[in-house]
Structure 1
Amino acid sequence: MRNRNLWLALIGLLAVLALWVDFTETRIEIGFLGLQREIRTVLGLDLQGGIQILLEADVPPNQPVDRGNLEDTRRIIENRVNALGVSEPVVQIAGTRRIVVELPGVTNLEQAVNTIKQTGLLEFVDAGATPIPEGTTIRTSLDLPITGTAPVTATPSLAPTPSLTGTAEVTGTAPLSPTEPVYRTIMTGRNLRSARPQLDEFRQPEVAFTLDAEGTRLFAEYTSRNVGRYLCIVLDKKVISCPVIQEPITQGQGVIRMGSGSTLADAEALAVTLRYGALPVPLKIVDTRNIGPTLGQESIRRSLIAGIIGFSTVALFMILYYRVPGVLAVLALSLYTALVFAIFKLLPVTLTLPGIAGFVLSIGMAVDANILIFERLKEELRAGRDLSMAIDYGFERAWPSIRDSNISTLITCAILYIFGLNFGASMVRGFALTLAIGVAASLFTGIWVTRAFLHALLDRLRPGVHRGWFGL
């Protein structure tokens, strides 16, 4: 009896916490765990609006696009928008040369577009004794068709010149203009191990970066030989900053100072671009479309109506057919609904129309366990067992069927989730995730919660006297 009372107390506490999360939009912090979590309902593009961008490979029409490179490009774009904090982005290949990007809740179109289509070619360029103004577009040694090897650790020229130092030989049919300097690339972003945005001591945005072992060696050798000279940081041939080398940098760490007027969001976008590397396929924007929330609001309203109708229908059936156990099952189902929605907000799970469909479907599936248990309960009562023993036998004998059916559903959810993950079908992935969470929660409410309710209310009853209470 003490264990049953403890179970009821825990269930009551869980119900209070679930309801608090369901009706709260706030941010919680648990200091000693270092946990920070924003409690809010996250909606997908089809429910809250956002931006849809259609990208196409920026190559000649008659030039085929390698499918593997296109898939790598899709994955890099998905990583970039995820790092920007976009919830449940849809990034998928359309046809043989296009990529569709859907960004729910995005308001800064320019920042999102720049981050997505940025090729992300980072170069550390020797500027010699004269700095290059920020924003200047330059040519670098990577633009030249080169034969042989050009050792990047060789001493660079004192001033920009249209030729390379070292043993490289410039060839090709497109001669350079004698007035257009070509700046020597010391190192590229392939040696970049990490990049993160931060504020300096003057509260100005910058990007802190860390190099790998090879990059650390190259950077240490170059900066040791060129103290007092300018080293430009160039992204896609555009100068971001051109600091002077004040001392040798030997630890493989440094910062990229942003230009004047830049914000921390600009630094974050740059860090994301650098962190996830260059796009294997250059892209151009074919179309951008703003999707308003009007359709989403109507979809939410209809989904709520469908959920209420589905819940009410299931509750009415359970009460009419199973009487008192049915009432207790409805109470457990109510807790299930509150608990699952709280889990959606805490993880968080992005709710799309398919996700809501999975949630509504799981409500109907949540009573499957109760139906199996109650039918077993009625059989045990007909066999003459006392109510407490009939409840325990009903649960024990129904458990194998409940376990197997739920495991098979979870396996199906896993298959759907993997499919959505590999083929960019995030809607399928959202449906699988919400259904899997619902099935797992239904095991808890259908087995432990309903059982605790039955024992708490019915142990002292004589079913022979109150047969109608059990639908017998």
Structure 2
Amino acid sequence: MTWNHWKNPIKALLVVAILAISTWAILPIQNKIHLGLDLQGGMSVLLQLEATPEVPKITKQVQNQVQTVIQNRINGLGVSEPVLAEVGSDRLLVQLPGVKDPDEALRTLKEAAILEFKICPTTVVARAEGDKAYGDSPAGAYKDCGKTVYSGADLKGAQPSPDQLGTGWRILFQTKNPGKFGRLTQDNMGKPLGIFLDRKYVSAPTINGVITSDGEITGSFSQEDVTRIANELAAGALPVPTRIIENETVGPTLGKVDLIKSLYAAMVGLALVVVFMVAVYRVPGLLADFALAIYVLMMLALLAESKAVLTLPGIAGFVLSIGMAVDANVLIFERLKEEIWAGKTLRGAVKTGFARAYSSVFDSHITTIVGAAVLWMLGTGTVKGFAYTLFWGTVLSLLTAVFITRFFTDLVVDNDMVSSHKAYGA
């Protein structure tokens, strides 16, 4: 048997496979499509990285280190699909869609989480316990306890835990170098081990035995405090301080309104396109509408499987790529009508029309794909969201035009389902 005999069944199987895989990928849709800050609410924070005597210049490496630490901290907050982007050479944009506790998130972004252990005189401990201002001042207990003998950089893990009485909270930690911490506790038996977080006094338990791998940090902590601090310690300390220079919060109600308006506009536009294609191109227009529905399904599946964050600009890129798909079909069907007017049979008109339109369709799609790729590489934040959906939408649009629309058209023409030239808009 020839290829012409098998081509439509094989193409049909491919189309069915595309439909099945795409449907599987997006269901349940409410759990698969991740919405951005502007659609579900949340917060956007612009951080300024500040140089210190220890780190006099904010380099690319420092910026990357800060981004890694903050990414690890955000993962501990349970925020779905956060966005982190470098802005200039010394700033970082952090977007947290759907964050439930903005205040906790701000503390997580702002705190350096530098943990230090010092051997403290009992007089300093007594004063720090009774005078909060003295305990919180870098020139107070932190300075009077002398040099740092162990730091958070030497820890390999930290977890929140209820205290032994079950009435308070503590932080359990594990050390990277048990021998070092063991020698420290052995040499200072009976002395207070001052614990400081970001140069603020936390507590000073007395060393009553040799501690090697596991220890605990106690203090006047709430459950929220120990969870946040343990998360920060596990993520690591920031190499430089950060300062919040912009903080924008988008309420979930506003995000929902924007989402509804965007979806409404997209559906109205899509409906008008469907009507236009059928009114002008008749049967081919109807076939193109079926192909367009498959295109939308494939695009949603791609967004779901790539865990992309859908934003308002992303929806704009999606809608624009739908326009590219429609434009491709318009070029093809105009060529098809010209071939019919030239006196060719339907099969000949379809074959020649698609072949002659292909170069124009390909060129227009490639130029858009290149432009979207440049936007993705050079853009930040929402620009990337627009570029991402435009890029992949245009790629799938090309696939839809040259394969799926062609398959439907061949299926109708080869089986003589509709033979009237008027039904093809000619």
TM range (shorter): 0.7 to 0.9
Change (3 A) 1:197 1:461: farther
1:452 aligned to 400, 407, 412, which one? 407
Question: In the alignment, is residue 104 of structure 1 matched against residue 97 of structure 2?
Answer: yes
SS at match of 2:400: helix
Query: In structure 2, what is the equivalent of residue 271 of structure 1?
Result: 231
State the Cα distance separating 1:210 from its structure 2 match: 7.5
2:197 aligned to 235, 254, 259, which one? 235
Change (3 A) 1:341 1:255: farther
Change (3 A) 1:258 1:49: farther
Please give the residue correspondences for 1:212-251 in structure 2 after superposition, counting only pairs within 5 Å.
216=177, 220-224=179-183, 226-227=185-186, 229=189, 234-237=196-199, 238-239=201-202
Question: In the alignment, is residue 302 of structure 1 matched against residue 302 of structure 2?
Answer: no
Change (3 A) 1:326 1:115: same
Q: Per-residue displacement from partner, 1:105-142 (whole Å, max 9, x unpaired)?
A: 11112320111101122334456999x89x978999xx
Check whether the contact 2:281–2:333 (CA below 8 A) recurs between aligned residues. yes
SS at match of 2:390: helix
State the Cα distance separating 1:41 from its structure 2 match: 3.3
Change (3 A) 1:396 1:245: farther
Query: In structure 1, what is the equivalent of residue 42 of structure 2?
Result: 50
Q: Distance in 2 between matches of 1:50 and 1:89?
A: 12
Q: Given residue 264 of structure 2, which amino acid in structure 1 is its aligned partner? A: I
Query: In structure 1, what is the equivalent of residue 420 of structure 2?
Result: 466
Q: Distance in 2 between matches of 1:190 and 1:207?
A: 15
Q: Which has the higher helix share?
A: 2
Check whether the contact 1:233–1:256 (CA below 8 A) recurs between aligned residues. no
Change (3 A) 1:324 1:256: farther
Q: Distance in 1 between matches of 2:218 and 2:290?
A: 57
Check whether the contact 1:387–1:462 (CA below 8 A) recurs between aligned residues. no
State the Cα distance separating 1:18 from its structure 2 match: 3.6
Q: Distance in 2 between matches of 1:241 and 1:44?
A: 44
Q: Given residue 120 of structure 1, which amino acid in structure 2 is its aligned partner? A: A
Question: In the alignment, is residue 358 of structure 1 matched against residue 358 of structure 2?
Answer: no
Which shifted more, 4-13 or 435-444? 4-13
Q: Distance in 2 between matches of 1:340 and 1:270?
A: 40
Q: Distance in 1 between matches of 2:359 and 2:73?
A: 44
Q: Distance in 2 between matches of 1:205 and 1:4?
A: 68
Which shifted more, 70-79 or 292-301? 70-79
State the Cα distance separating 1:234 from its structure 2 match: 4.1
Query: In structure 2, what is the equivalent of residue 345 of structure 1?
Result: 304
Query: In structure 1, what is the equivalent of residue 291 of structure 2?
Result: 332
Query: In structure 2, what is the equivalent of residue 119 of structure 1?
Result: 112
State the Cα distance separating 1:471 from its structure 2 match: 2.0
Query: In structure 2, what is the equivalent of residue 391 of structure 1?
Result: 350
Query: In structure 2, what is the equivalent of residue 40 of structure 1?
Result: 32
Query: In structure 2, what is the equivalent of residue 434 of structure 1?
Result: 389
State the Cα distance separating 1:191 from its structure 2 match: 5.8
Change (3 A) 1:115 1:364: same
Q: Given residue 87 of structure 1, which amino acid in structure 2 is its aligned partner? A: E
Q: Distance in 2 between matches of 1:4 and 1:188?
A: 69
Check whether the contact 2:49–2:58 (CA below 8 A) recurs between aligned residues. no
Please give the residue correspondences for 1:54-203 in structure 2 after superposition, counting only pairs within 5 Å.
75=67, 79=71, 82-83=74-75, 84=77, 85-89=79-83, 101-126=94-119, 181-190=144-153, 195=157
Check whether the contact 2:152–2:236 (CA below 8 A) recurs between aligned residues. no
Q: Distance in 2 between matches of 1:443 and 1:235?
A: 56
Check whether the contact 1:223–1:245 (CA below 8 A) recurs between aligned residues. no
Check whether the contact 2:340–2:421 (CA below 8 A) recurs between aligned residues. no
Provide TM-score, normalisation by structure 1: 0.67
SS at match of 1:51: strand
Q: Distance in 1 between matches of 2:215 and 2:369?
A: 47
Q: Percent identity?
A: 31
Change (3 A) 1:108 1:395: same
State the Cα distance separating 1:336 from its structure 2 match: 1.2
Which shifted more, 289-298 or 264-273? 264-273
Q: Distance in 1 between matches of 2:223 and 2:10?
A: 54
Which shifted more, 360-369 or 202-211? 202-211
Q: Given residue 182 of structure 1, which amino acid in structure 2 is its aligned partner? A: C
SS at match of 1:103: strand
Provide TM-score, normalisation by structure 2: 0.73
State the Cα distance separating 1:197 from its structure 2 match: 5.6
Q: Distance in 1 between matches of 2:234 and 2:390?
A: 36
Query: In structure 2, what is the equivalent of residue 291 of structure 1?
Result: 250
SS at match of 1:323: helix
